[in-house]
Amino acid sequence: MSTQTFPVTGLTCQHCVGAVTSELSVLAGVTDVKIDLVVEGTSTLTVTADQELSDDEVALALDEAGDYKLVSS
């Protein structure tokens, strides 16, 4: 089991949280998704999965959910 955190921008409300959670939850191996929402700031996305997800996988899911971006480190 792997738990990863990702900084994300573009989330402004609970609808955004729901959209991102739905997109990530359908990825193979994902067992839990939590988001610490920071309106007009950088939110923290925490994903627990059977194996680590790549930044590209997460970025694609964010793009599918809406105008949400992974903050590069």
Backbone angles phi, psi at 46, to 5 degrees: -115, 125
Q: Would you kindly state where each structural domain of the chain is located, as residue ranges? A: 2-70
CB-based burial, 24-42: b 16+ in 10 Å, e otherwise: beeeeebeebebebeeeee
Residues 23-57 pLDDT 10s: 999 999 999 999 999 998 999 999 999 999 999 99
Question: Which CATH number is associated with domain 2-70?
Answer: 3.30.70.100
- Residue 72 has a pLDDT of 84
Write down the pTM of the prediction.
Answer: 0.92
